[in-house]
Chain A
Amino acid sequence: MHFRQLTILAGIAGLCATAATAETTVSYITPSADITTGPGQTLIGVAEGLEAMEGDFKFFSAVPPAHNDPAAYDRILSDQVVLAPDYLMVTPATSMDDIYDRLNEAAAKGSKLILFAPPIGLDKHPVDPLAYIIVPEDVMGQMAGNDIATMACNEKRDPVNLAMFHGIPTSEIGKLRSAGFREAITKGLEECGITLNIVREEFTNFSRELAFRTIDPVMTAHPEINVVFGANSNTALGIMEGLQAIGKSPGADGIWIAGQGGQLDELAAVCRGEIMTVPFRDPRKMSDIALQVVQLDLAGRSSEIQPVYQTQLVPITNCDQIFETVPRAMLESKGFRPLIPEEMWQE
């Protein structure tokens, strides 16, 4: 081989090596890749955001087959320890407690952690992330509780016979939302002298299908129920569909449903008047914050990174608020626009 060819080959190899070393690896581990869910939208946001950012990024993601399977989540995080990405973003599947060991192993391998976590005991977590991005889940529950209490007071719906459909029993998110809702509705109804009866509580594991199946026997046993709380979007949607399937009408004149999270099809149900209230957290803003943290760190401005970022919540009770609040790109997607009557669409 001639010297010139060798030089060219060496040059190419050098370029490849430079490119390889300059590449920044980012992983996002999430319990759900469903694009209608918050974590699914955050996943899309991170992937698209990295493509748009300046620099050479390689993106990895992984999702367990079942979102509440801690053993599968542990295996996925073990893989991330081997991969040792520069930035490891994680939304816990059930609890932060399950994943500390793997997170610390990843941190020991040089991965910088960005954690989407519930807002409890952050100072007690035995892990040191670059940043926490938190959703005040208790506030989310309180917002929905306040909205329902206000509606009941205004319309003098007395008594309020409430069924609560909780999430996964061990989920910190589920517990915080349920506790927030219970606290706010109790207080709000007390203030206007309306009686609150919590007639039934069920754990439906954040599952739309399980909520759908459970609402039928619950309504048969307690036909007096006039308000149902769903601990996440899928639960609220399952309750709504289950009520419709047994000939009950969810909505202002029928059974009131309070949802949580504000995934797109849940927002569409609010628009149609079938779900009464949903606090919305913008998953795209959460991914923007995570990427902003990456950018600041890469630019050597890590001192500007806040240890904790709060995600803003917006209470949504009607279609107008949705069009004022939710990013247009999300509304135009298949998860929302086809699910509302055309005349409700606002340009």
Chain B
Amino acid sequence: MTETANSSHSAESKGKMDPAKTVLRNINTVVYPTILCVILLSLFSDKFLTVENQLNILRSAAVAMIVGVGQVFVISARQIDLSVGSVMGLTACLTGFLVFDGYPVILCFMFAIAVGAGLGFCNGLIVGYLRVPALLGTLGMLVLARGIVQEVMYGTYHVRFPANFVVLGQGNTLGVPNLVWVAAVVVIVGHFVLTRLEYGRYILAIGGNPEAARIAGIKVRKYIIIAFVVQAALVALAAFLLMGRMNSAHPTLGQGLELHIIAGVILGGSSLFGGVGRIWGMAIAMYLIAVLENGLVLAGASFFWQQILLGLLLIISVAIQVYRTRGNRTGL
């Protein structure tokens, strides 16, 4: 009762808020530390703000952004995917065999996406139909896929791919790295799908209240499976580009990636409890993480400070997000 009253009070006060305040209120919290970090780090290194370095930062963040788009869909549907790193390693190593067998790049690309989507489909079935909690189901896939790739490669790795393959990850178009172009397209399309298309609205509805979504006629299992398939297909896309960038594919590729991705998604404003997804926020958060990693190195700071600052930033940003959510509910 009280909450309803407070909510209507909140809506009322929102209606009276001036546009500037509304804009400030709607901007993701991660924007502020990003701006602050960019200003501070630019004071410590004259190379930080150069175009070359900014493109380098964007390139570093691009892979995480591509994977992060998929994770926003999964987390918005009140699920989580911990298997992204292992799926990346497995997809890259299997695709590497095709590349060295001389198959055309486009076929290798389709194979990579198919492998990724297949693994995502398995995740979706495990979570959607077997009703295994996503945390445990995808944790199982994390271990399984890493085991498979280690067994398949058995101590070997792929290295020095043909030039027409490497150019995808290492080349530039109009002076901007190809990786950045791909990430930009994926982020824009992801944002459009999540906010404008029926699929995105269903995902948010499922994440907000799965039971209500089911009663409303939404096929919850189907959309959850699609979310996992999209996630893993995007991981495969990222793996494909990263193979070119690094000119190698290791069975250890992507180890620890899941924490980086989930941190970026949550930092970007998506709710770990489902129902709220922020693609742009995620993209800015991934940029912020890359800024910190890059800027602290250029500034000559020790490696341990990177970890300390990233951890602090994550806690503070999520705390602000929780505070604001609570503030919205109570009209603060």
Contacts and interface: CB of A to CB of B under 8 A. Distances in A.
B296 to A, nearest CB: 9
Contact of B256 (A65, A75, A80, A94): A65
A170 B60 contact: no
Interface stretch (B15-23, B191-199, B245-253): B245-253
A95 B303 contact: no
Contacts of B153: 169-170
A95 B77 CA distance: 40
Contacts of A33: 302-304
B50 interface: yes
Nearest to A27: B297
A83 B160 contact: no
Contact of B255 (A59, A66, A95): A66
B59 interface: yes
B32 to A, nearest CB: 24
A97 B59 contact: no
B60 A75 contact: yes
A309 interface: no
Interface string A70-103: 1110111011111100000000001101101100
Given A74-B245, A82-B56, A98-B159, A168 B298 contact: no
Interface in B299-332: 300, 302-304, 307
A178 to B, nearest CB: 10
B277 interface: no
B157 interface: yes
Contact of A169 (B59, B155, B242, B298): B155
B298 A70 contact: no
Nearest to B61: A75
Interface in B143-175: 150, 153-157, 159-160, 170
B294 interface: yes
Interface of A: 33, 58-63, 65-66, 68-72, 74-76, 78-83, 94-95, 97-98, 100-101, 168-170, 175, 203
A68 B246 CA distance: 14
B12 interface: no
Contacts of B242: 71
B50 A94 contact: no
A78 B56 CA distance: 7
Contacts of A95: 157, 159, 248, 250
A29 to B, nearest CB: 9
Contacts of B157: 94-95, 97, 170
Given A33-B304, A66-B255, A82 B298 contact: yes
Which interface class (under 10, 10 to 19, 20 to 34, 35 or more) fits B? 35 or more
B256 A100 contact: no
Contacts of A59: 300
B9 interface: no
A227 B86 CA distance: 33
Contacts of B63: 71
Considering the complex of A and B, which 6 residue pairs feature the smallest CB-CB distances, nearest first? A169-B155, A97-B159, A63-B303, A82-B53, A75-B60, A66-B256
B246 A74 contact: yes
Contacts of B250: 70, 94-95, 98, 170
B247 A100 contact: yes
Most buried by B among A59, A60, A81: A60
B254 interface: yes
Contact of B246 (A61, A62, A63, A71): A71
21 contacts: A60-B300, A61-B303, A62-B297, A65-B256, A66-B255, A69-B252, A71-B257, A78-B59, A79-B56, A80-B297, A82-B47, A82-B50, A83-B47, A95-B250, A97-B157, A97-B160, A98-B248, A169-B150, A169-B251, A170-B250, A175-B155
A78 B156 CA distance: 24
A83 B299 CA distance: 10
A70 B150 contact: no
A72 B60 CA distance: 9
